[in-house]
Each structure stands twice: as structure tokens, then as C-alpha cells.
Structure 1
Amino acid sequence: MAVFVLVHGGSHGSWCWDACAGALRSAGHRVVSFDLPGHGQDPTPRDQVTLKAYGEVIRDQLKQCGSESPVLVGHSLAGIGIAEAMAHEPLAIGQLVMIAALVLKPGERAIDRIPESRRPSYFELAAASSDQSFALSAEVTRRVFFNDLNDTQASGYHAKLTPQPLGVYLETTRFDLSEISCPKHFFACRQDQALGLENNLIYAQRLGGSITTLDAGHDVMLSEPDLLAQSLMERLGMR
């Protein structure tokens, strides 16, 4: 049985993994999920959240796995947090899985990979906030995150989102995830309206390793948690 360390994306929290984590645990696996700084229930002031802070928390969670080499799973913006964690020091992981995630080259910034149509609003919302964060409207999250969920589900999940610290989008990536030597896998989401399928496949090629395409939206762990859990176990050779 494996140990899965699940890292959420921007504006989300560990709550987004609950159903998928439950399916993995039912199959006998151990699952760890947590809130990144300034997300979910974490009290870190959002104007103090940095990419370094993301990386430190991810490293701490991996170290707590002890001698076990976990399966590290990152969704969306978690790609840059995981890269920061790996830039600091080598960490033993058994396999790396990116789900509709940013895979940046050293020197790139997350903000530059956001569609130009949405980019200005991030700066405008952050400037209008008290803590340099931005909160996407329910209309936007319904379209880009929850497009394959029903209205009730989309509304409920939107209420759980927290404002996203802008600062981490503006910092440059220091580590190329393709350099990790363990088996790597990318799960692309065919209905992804946040990154788009084309970008999913670009990031998959950047990462290297296997590519699995799921017929789901950006938040596949919410819309298809059982499918995601089963796909993870099958792709990683588990049952």
C-alpha cells in the first residue's frame, strides 16, 4: 500500500481532496492532505504568503512520511509549490503526479501562464484588497473550476474557496520538475476551462513520463473523485 501526499491548488484547501482521499483510503492506502499557507483554515496572513512558504510546508509534510517514499500529487498551482520544495533540497518521493498543473521552467512566473483575458483582473482585485489577494467571483469559478458540476455543487464549493495571495504568482520558478528522477505522471483534464487542454498537454510534455487524459474539468477531484482515485491506482500499478 502507498502513502499519497496531496497538494491543493490556488484558492483551494485540503477540503478539495476529501472524496478522492476517502476512495484511496478505502483501497487501503494512507493519505495526507493539508492547507498551504493562507489557504483553507491556515491562519497565515495572505500578504505574507510566499512561494518559499509553500515549499517549506510541502517539504515538512514529505519529511513526516519518514522512511516511506510517498506518491506526491499536485493539482494546478501546486506545481510551482512542489517545484519550490524540490529546489531547496532533494527529497525522496516514490512517484510524482501532476493533475492539470503548472509545470514551469526556471525563470518563468505563474502569472505569465494565466490567459491574458484573466490576467489584469488578478492585479486589480489584489490592489483593491487589504492583503494583496484576489477572490474570483462565483460566475468565474463556475466557468473555470466547476464547469462539470451542477449549480448546487458549484455554489457550495465556491463558498469554500479562499482568496489567493497574488505574490506567489509573481515569483520565478527555480527548479525544473522534469529533473526529478522518480516515475512521473501527468493527468490532463479534457474539459479544463482554467488552463485548457492544450496547456495541460504542454505541461505534460514538459514534465515527461506518462500522460493520462481524463474526461473531466479542472477540479476533477471534486467532479470525479472516484474516477481520479481509480486512475491514480491503475496508472501507478496499484489496486
Structure 2
Amino acid sequence: MAVFLLVHGGSHGSWCWDACAEVLRREGHQAVSFDLPGHGQDPTPRDQVTLQAYGEAIRDQLERCGPQPPVLVGHSLAGIGIAEAMATAPIALDQLVMVAALVLKPGERAIDRIPESRRPSYFELAEASDDQSISLHADVTRKLFFNDLNESQAAAYHAQLTPQPLGVYLEESPFDLSTLTCPRHYLACRDDQALGLESNLLYAARLGGTTRILEAGHDVMLSEPDMLAQVLMALLGRG
């Protein structure tokens, strides 16, 4: 049986993994999710959240997994936190699975990968906030995150989102995830409206390893939790 450590993306929290984690546990695996600093129920002030804080939180959770190397699963913006976590001294992993996640080159910033048409709004929203964070309107999250969910589901999940600290977008990524020696897998989402399939496949190529395209939107763990869990379990033991 495997240990899955599930890392959420921007504006989300550990809650987004609940349904997927339940399927994994039902099949006998251990599934752990947690709130990154400034997200979900974590009390860290958002204007103090750094990429280093993301990395330290992920490393702490990895070290808590015990002697068995975990399957580390990162969604969306979790890609930059995972790179930060691995930069100092990579921790042994059974597998690395990136789900519609950013895979940056060393020295690249997440803000550099935001489409130019959307980039100014990130700074405008952060400047208008009290803590340099980004709060997206429900119409925006419906389009970007929840496009393959119904209206009531989209509204319920939007209500659980928290403002995203801008600071982590502005820091340079310190580590090339393709240098990890564990098996690496990228799960691209065909209907991803947040990153786009083209970017998914670019990040998959950067990561190396295997690539699979899922018939889902950006938040596949919410729209297709059973399917995602089955795909994750199917990756066990693959090199």
C-alpha cells in the first residue's frame, strides 16, 4: 500500500483533495493533504507568505510520512512549492505526479507563465487588497477552475477558496524537477481553462517521464475524483 501526499494549488486548500483521498483510503492506501501557508485554515498572514514557506511546509509533511517514500502529487501552483521543497536536499520519493501543474525552469517565475492579457490583473487585485493577495470573482473561478462542474458545485467550491498570496508568483524557481531520479508523471487536463492544454503539455515535456491526458478541467480532483484516484493508483510501481 502506498502513501500519497496531496498538495493543493493556488487559492485552494486541503479540502479540494477530500473526495480523491477518500477513494485512495478506501482502497487501502494512506492519503495526506494539508493547507499551505496562507491557504485554507492556515493562519499565516498572506503578505508574509513566501516560496520558502511553501517549500518548508511541503518538506515538513514529507518528513512526517515516515520511512516509506511517498507518492508526491502536486496540483497547479503546487509545482513551484514542490520545486522549492526539493531545492535544498531532495527527499526520497516513490513517485512524483504533477496534475495540471506548473513546472518552471530554474530562474523562471510563476508570473512569467501567466498570459500577458491576465498578468496586470494580478498586480491590480493584490494592490487593492489589504495583504497583497488575489481574490478572484466567482465568474472567473467558474470559467478557470470549475468549468466542468455544475452551477451549484461551482458556487460551493468557490466559497471555500481563499485569497492567493501574490508574493510566491514573483520569486524565481530554484530547482529543475526533471533532475529527480524517482519516476515522474504528468497528468494533463484536456479541458483546463486555467493553464490550457498546450501549457500542460509543455510542462509535461519539461518534467520528463510519462504523460497522460485526462478528460477533465483544471480541478480534476473535484470534477472527477474517482477517475483521478484510479489513475494515481495505476501509476504505482511504474518507472
Give the TM bin, normalised by the shorter chain.
over 0.9
- Matched ranges for 1:111-126 at <5 A: 111-126=111-126
Match of 1:205 in 2: 205
CA RMSD, 1 decimal: 0.8
Name the residue aligned to 2:137: 137
Deviation at 1:88, TM superposition (A): 1.6
Match in the other structure for 2:66: 66
**DSSP 3-state at the match of 2:86:** helix
| Secondary structure of residue in 2 paired with 1:195 | coil
Poorly superposed stretches of 4+, deviation over 2 Å: 235-238
Amino acid at match of 1:102: L
Q: Structure 2: which 5+ runs fail to align?
A: none
The percentage of aligned residue pairs carrying the same residue is 76
Match of 1:171 in 2: 171
The residue aligned with 1:222 is 222
Q: How many angstroms apart in 2 are the aligned matches of 1:118 and 1:40? A: 24
Amino acid at match of 2:192: D
Q: 1:237: how far off?
A: 4.4
Using the alignment, how far apart are the partners of 1:91 and 1:191 within structure 2? Answer: 32
Aligned to 2:87: 87
Range with greater deviation from structure 2 (114-123 or 70-79):
114-123
Secondary structure of the structure 2 residue equivalent to 1:212 = strand
Aligned partners of 2:143, 2:118: CA distance in 1, in Å? 12
1:151 is matched with 151
Structure 2 CA distance for aligned equivalents of residues 113 and 127 of structure 1? 20
Counterpart Cα distance in 2 of 1:66 and 1:231: 24
TM-score (norm 1): 0.98
Aligned to 1:97: 97
1:75 aligns with 2:75: yes
Q: Any idea what the Cα deviations from partners look like across 1:188-228, whole Å, max 9, x if unmatched? A: 00000000000000000000000011000000000000000
- Which residue matches 2:42? 42
SS at match of 2:159: helix
1:135-158 CA distances to partner (integer Å, 9 max, x unpaired)? 011010000000000000000000
Q: CA deviation at 1:235?
A: 2.5
Measured after TM superposition, the shift of residue 236 of structure 1 is 2.4
For the residues of structure 2 that align with 1:187 and 1:134, how far apart are their CA atoms? Answer: 26
For residue 119 of structure 1, what is the amino acid of its counterpart? Answer: R
Secondary structure of 1:21's match? helix
Q: AA paired with 1:223?
A: S
User: What residue is the counterpart of 1:20 in the other structure?
Assistant: 20
Give the count of matched residue pairs.
Answer: 238
1:193 match: 193
CA drift at 1:90: 1.9
Letter in structure 1 aligned against 2:3:
V
Instruction: Please give the alpha-carbon distance, in whole angstroms, between the structure 1 residues aligned to 2:176 and 2:46.
Output: 26
